[in-house]
Amino acid sequence: MKTKDLFPIALATALVMSCASQDKTIDKQDVLRKLSLEDKAHFVIGTGMPGMSGDHAVIGATKSLVPGAAGTTYPLDSLGIPAIVLADGPAGLRVDAHRKGDKRTYFCTHFPIGTLLASTWNRQLVEEVGKAMGEEVKEYGVDVLLAPAVNIHRNPLNGRNFEYYSEDPVVAGKIAAAYIRGIQSNGVGTSVKHFAFNNQETNRMNNDARISQRAIREIYLKPFEIAVKEAHPWTVMSSYNKINGIYTSESKDLLTTILRDEWGYEGTVMTDWFGGKDGAAQVWAGNDMLQPGKAEQFMSIVDGVKSGRLKEADLDRNIIRILNLIEKTPSYQGYQPSNKPDLQGHAAVTRQSAVEGMVLLKNEDSTLPLASKATDIEVALYGCTGYDFIAGGTGSGNVNHAYVVSLLDGLKKAGYRVNEDLHKQYAKYITQRKAEIEKQQNAAAKKDKKKAMLAKFMPTPRPVEMSMEARQLERQARLSDVAIVTLGRISGEFVDRKMADFNLSTEERRLVSQVCEAYHKVGKKVVVLLNVGGVIETASWKDLPDAILCAWQAGQESGNSVADVLSGKVSPSGKLTMTWPVNFADAYSSRNFPIDKAPDLSLTNQGKAGNGEKDVDYTDYEEDIYVGYRYFDSFDKAVSYPFGYGLSYTKFDYTDAKINAKDDVINVTVSVKNVGKADGKEIVELYVAAPDSKRLNKPAKELKAFAKTKSLKPGEAETLTLTVKTADLASFDADTSVWRVDAGKYQLLVGASSRDIKTTLPIDVKARETKVHSVLRPMERFNILKRM
């Protein structure tokens, strides 16, 4: 059905506009009066998605406003209400770089992945990245960026952890809020996602996350709550999965009772693409917009109103929220995008931001930084990834960027000499291996076109590491001054990482061992560089190299950013936002995670019956609130690297820590002094240890605030203030649906990591309670039709 067939031209007067281009408003009640039931049902559904047909029938056709965008809203052309454009994703805008019949290019900046941005612990820096990203969104004609992604790192193998920020809700929420503020400062919107409990990719569209009300409130919803209250995102995206038996996009408890009634959210809620099953139930629950738009959703809404199972008032409410969104977008306000964002300036932003999130895991005998005069050093570069750097993850988190600076190129630009014989050997090997992989993929694509289409969103297999002969290694060790071994990992949508991806392969383990042996024999150092999106196993081999730098996936300027750190141009100041376990099985959630399960690659498989398979059709979150360091630290479990850990090229002293409490606000001040020989920044973490409670178990400690110093010169100090509200000390009592702060003596722990506490400050706190709704009860099978 075409929009122009729905409305007479005369209805254009339905809009009430001011003359000022940035003050156009919509008379929403007048629009509602002029829409039929069918028109209303169309309006709350997107316009479709390219390449989807047949059993994936979608409403209308995608408006080719910005090629490569994820979707648009449904336009009401004769009412003067345009379609607005929605596009991915967290590491930068994802639109087509090339357009048919157009010689110009539309590349976007690939910024660092979410895990790296969070590892900066620097909210001001993340906000600046958001500002740059938002400028590209606006200048390329997009209205809403489908980001940030703030789900919790429940398990190291989650395929989309690279998009997410942390295992800790405070880190995730605060970083997300900064990101949102930066992007929305451009007058474009964000969509905080995936709301909520999207902690695995395996069967993500049908998996039932079974979680206690306490863990729901304290762990999985808390980062969303912080982001919503502190940054006011224009939209929230509901997730694919179920929560305690109900699809999140059909959960009124989640989308209305908690999000709107308790948190005060006033924006628009949209589904993830093809999310949910029942259109009428989604509208009733408060899911305002259904993307990208399916025919069965349209029929469900229309039939629901006609049968009385859905009130038309609920549909009207959602339409008004969508109109509120459209009203403030650049598309509605008449902004003419230039298609010329400042890509050069943004490249500098991504290069600078990336260095602050890289984490120095090991640095024996000051192996790093490398000697100050680069031209005096020849580097032997081992590992395929050093020559073929990974900028970020795949799927909706990918960016169509113009280039990626490899480690090889970054080192050369910094003035280092790179062993050319080794370079040529790797170049030949990588070319051959990639050709073989492409051939295999093309053969598979001919057999299954549907899977071939989805394969474009999935990680391409990486070449197996090349074997090295002992005599060759000995020769290279004599000729080169230092060895850098790069290990790479890539992940993305649709599929979780495998155990083989968490552990080093046989070839990788052999490479690290042989290089370390050869170079140490002649008194040379070895650096291992991790070009990864998430946690890998390190405990079994980390004693071998002299230094380990986790560079994450740093975007298109990766090689330059890494070179800035290796050379000492910038001292690393990132810290881990997740615990690195000794073994995968040490993570509590490893008992309830779909390890090495085959992915379901269907885009629209909601409602699939399944066979009741554990961790696939349902996942029991048995660890409850004991996620990440809350488990490892509470039960004294050994780790490879603790939460909040990260080294620097300098050292810091913490002194003069004090508490200043007034009313319901607790301020902790601490002086941080650079006592080393290099400039550097330090991150200070404030944890709280609660007194014993008769009603609730409490973790050994929980992060409540953090702050980062400016760049301090040797001998320079800065006093930081970390603020905690008394309400932030509460735990959720599911039996009474109360956020409860127990009276007693709390310990405020000022630390450099969760296991490096510098100062402990006691404080007496009075009891307080805040009553909330008892919703999202575990395992309760609500009858939605009866409640509508």
Nearest to 95 by CA among 63, 61, 141: 141
Q: Which two tokens stand for residue 324?
A: 């509120």
- Give SS3 for 87: strand
* Residues 740 and 731 sit within 8 Å (Cβ to Cβ): yes
Cα–Cα nearest to 550, from 355, 365, 361, 364: 361
Number of Cβ atoms within 10 Å of the Cβ of 537: 18
Find the helix or strand (DSSP H, E) in which 547 lies.
strand 547-550
Gap between the Cα atoms of 501 and 19, Å rounded: 58
Per-residue tokens: 602: 């269907």
How many Å is the Cα radius of gyration of the chain? 26
3-state secondary structure 448-465: CHHHHHHHCCCCCCCCCC
Cα first-last separation, the chain: 29
434, burial (CB in 10 Å: exposed 0-12, middle 13-18, buried 19+): middle
Q: How far, CA to CA in Å, does 776 sit from each of 251, 265, 271, 465, 707? A: 9, 18, 19, 47, 34
Environment class of 103 (CB within 10 Å of its CB; exposed 0-12, middle 13-18, buried 19+): exposed
- Tokens standing for residue 17: 């506009």
Residue among 143, 253, 272, 409 flagged as catalytic: 272
- The secondary element (H helix, E strand) that includes residue 482 is strand 482-488
Q: How far apart are CA 140 and CA 96, in angstroms?
A: 11
Residue 434 CB-half CA count within 13 A: 10
Q: Which helix (H) or strand (E) holds 134?
A: helix 123-139
Pairing of strands 144-145, 85-87: parallel
Burial 284-317 (b: 16+ CB within 10 A, else e): bbbbbbbbbbbeebbebbbebbeeebbebebbbe
The C-alpha torsion from 214 through 220 and 225 to 227, rounded to 10°, is 160
Tell me the residue type at 543: D
The residue behind tokens 């999140």 is 248
Cα angle value 38/42/47 (rounded, 5°): 155
Q: Report the DSSP pairing between strands 756-765 and 744-753.
A: antiparallel
Pairing between β-strand 85-87 and β-strand 71-72 as defined by DSSP bridges: antiparallel
Let me know how many helices (H) and strands (E) the chain has, helices first. Answer: 24, 30
For the chain, the farthest-separated pair of C-alpha atoms sits apart, in whole angstroms, at 85
10 Å Cβ neighbour count for 281? 25
For residue 625, give both structure tokens.
């609130």
Q: Which two tokens stand for residue 117?
A: 């941005």
CB of 490 closer than 8 Å to CB of 437: no
Concerning whether 272 is annotated as a catalytic residue, the answer is yes
C-alpha 788/C-alpha 785 separation (Å) is 5
Residue 788: how many CB atoms within 10 A of its CB? 18
* CA atoms in the 13 A half-sphere facing the CB of 67: 12
Catalytic residues: 272
